Structure 1
Amino acid sequence: MVFFQGNTCCHHCFAQKGFTGKDIAASKIAPKSTIYRITKNFKESGSIVVKKASGCPRKSSKRQDRLLKLIQLRDRGTTSTELAQECQQAGVSASARTVRQRLLEDDLVSRRAAKKPLLSRKNIRDRLIFCKRYRDWTAEDWGKAILSDESPFRLFGASVKKLVRRRQGERYHQSCVTPTVKHPETIHVWGCFSAKGVGSLTILPKNTAMNKEWYQHILREQLLPTIQEQFGDEQCLFQHDGAPCHKAKVITKWLWEQNIGILDPWPGNSPDLNPIENLWSILKRRVDKQKPTNSDKLQALIIQEWAAISQDVAQKLIDSMPGWIAEVLKKGQHCKY
Structure 2
Amino acid sequence: MVTCKETRAVIIALHKKGFTGKDIAASKIAPKLTIYRIIKNFKESGSIFVKKASGRPRKSSKHQDRLLKLIQLRDRGTTSTELPQEWQQAGVSASARTVRRRLLEGGLVSRRAAKKPLLYRKNIRDRLIFCKRYRDWTAEDWGKVIFSDDSPFRLFGASVKKLVRRRHGERYHQSCVMPTVKHPETIHVWGCFSAKGVGSLTILPKNTAMNKEWYQHILREQLLPTIQEQFGDEQCLFQHDGAPYHKAKVITKWLGEQNIDILGPWPGNSPDLNPIENLWSILKRRVDKQKPTNSDKLQALIMQEWAAISQDVAQKLIDSMPGQIAEFLKKKGQPSNIDSL
Structure 2 length-normalised TM: 0.90
Q: What's the offset of the Cα at 1:81?
A: 1.8
Q: What's the offset of the Cα at 1:90?
A: 3.9
Take 1:86 and 1:128, find their aligned partners in 2: how far apart are those partners?
38
Take 1:117 and 1:151, find their aligned partners in 2: how far apart are those partners?
15
**For 1:80, what is the secondary structure of its paired residue?**
coil
Deviation per residue, 1:201-260 (Å, 9 max, x gap): 000111111111111111111111111111111101100010011000111111111111
Taking only aligned residues, the RMSD between alpha carbons, in angstroms, comes to 1.7
| Corresponding residue number in structure 1 for 2:305 | 305
Unmatched runs of 5 consecutive residues or more in structure 1: 1-7, 10-15
Deviation per residue, 1:55-80 (Å, 9 max, x gap): 22221123222221111011001112
**For 2:82, what is the secondary structure of its paired residue?**
helix
Q: What's the offset of the Cα at 1:296?
A: 0.8
Take 1:129 and 1:108, find their aligned partners in 2: how far apart are those partners?
33
Do structure 1's residue 241 and structure 2's residue 231 form an aligned pair?
A: no
Take 1:52 and 1:315, find their aligned partners in 2: how far apart are those partners?
59
After superposing the two structures, state which structure 1 stretch, 48-57 or 77-86, moved more: 48-57
| Corresponding residue number in structure 2 for 1:12 | none
Q: What's the offset of the Cα at 1:43?
A: 3.2
Q: What's the offset of the Cα at 1:39?
A: 1.6
Take 2:119 and 2:17, find their aligned partners in 1: how far apart are those partners?
79
Deviation per residue, 1:270-314 (Å, 9 max, x gap): 111011011111111111111111111111110000000000100
| Corresponding residue number in structure 1 for 2:144 | 144
Q: What's the offset of the Cα at 1:164?
A: 1.7
After superposing the two structures, state which structure 1 stretch, 270-279 or 18-27, moved more: 18-27
**For 2:81, what is the secondary structure of its paired residue?**
helix
Q: What's the offset of the Cα at 1:50?
A: 2.5
Deviation per residue, 1:9-56 (Å, 9 max, x gap): 9xxxxxx66321122234443222111111222334444333333322
Take 2:45 and 2:18, find their aligned partners in 1: how far apart are those partners?
21
Take 1:321 and 1:49, find their aligned partners in 2: how far apart are those partners?
60
Deviation per residue, 1:169-214 (Å, 9 max, x gap): 0101112111111111111000000011000000011111111111
Take 1:48 and 1:111, find their aligned partners in 2: how far apart are those partners?
46
**For 1:152, what is the secondary structure of its paired residue?**
strand
Deviation per residue, 1:88-119 (Å, 9 max, x gap): 24432122222222212221111111011111
Take 1:103 and 1:220, find their aligned partners in 2: how far apart are those partners?
56
After superposing the two structures, state which structure 1 stretch, 218-227 or 159-168, moved more: 159-168
**For 1:189, what is the secondary structure of its paired residue?**
strand
Verify the 8 A CA contact 2:237 2:263 in the aligned structure 1: yes
Take 1:17 and 1:74, find their aligned partners in 2: how far apart are those partners?
63
**For 2:252, what is the secondary structure of its paired residue?**
helix
Take 2:326 and 2:50, find their aligned partners in 1: how far apart are those partners?
52
**For 1:266, what is the secondary structure of its paired residue?**
coil
| Corresponding residue number in structure 2 for 1:90 | 90
**For 2:201, what is the secondary structure of its paired residue?**
strand
After superposing the two structures, state which structure 1 stretch, 298-307 or 86-95, moved more: 86-95
Verify the 8 A CA contact 2:64 2:90 in the aligned structure 1: no
Task: State the number of aligned residues.
Answer: 320
Deviation per residue, 1:126-165 (Å, 9 max, x gap): 1111111111111111111000000001111111211222
Deviation per residue, 1:299-331 (Å, 9 max, x gap): 111000000000010011111111111111132
Take 1:100 and 1:160, find their aligned partners in 2: how far apart are those partners?
25
Take 2:165 and 2:263, find their aligned partners in 1: how far apart are those partners?
46
| Corresponding residue number in structure 2 for 1:331 | 332
Query: What is the percentage of aligned positions where both structures have the same residue?
Result: 93
After superposing the two structures, state which structure 1 stretch, 50-59 or 40-49, moved more: 40-49
Take 2:261 and 2:44, find their aligned partners in 1: how far apart are those partners?
85
Structure 1 length-normalised TM: 0.91
Take 2:259 and 2:109, find their aligned partners in 1: how far apart are those partners?
52
Take 1:136 and 1:294, find their aligned partners in 2: how far apart are those partners?
47
Take 1:327 and 1:284, find their aligned partners in 2: how far apart are those partners?
26
After superposing the two structures, state which structure 1 stretch, 50-59 or 289-298, moved more: 50-59
Verify the 8 A CA contact 2:83 2:99 in the aligned structure 1: yes
After superposing the two structures, state which structure 1 stretch, 193-202 or 87-96, moved more: 87-96
Take 2:85 and 2:22, find their aligned partners in 1: how far apart are those partners?
54
After superposing the two structures, state which structure 1 stretch, 260-269 or 20-29, moved more: 20-29
After superposing the two structures, state which structure 1 stretch, 42-51 or 319-328, moved more: 42-51
**For 1:81, what is the secondary structure of its paired residue?**
coil
| Corresponding residue number in structure 1 for 2:11 | none
Verify the 8 A CA contact 2:130 2:266 in the aligned structure 1: yes
Unmatched runs of 5 consecutive residues or more in structure 2: 5-15, 335-341
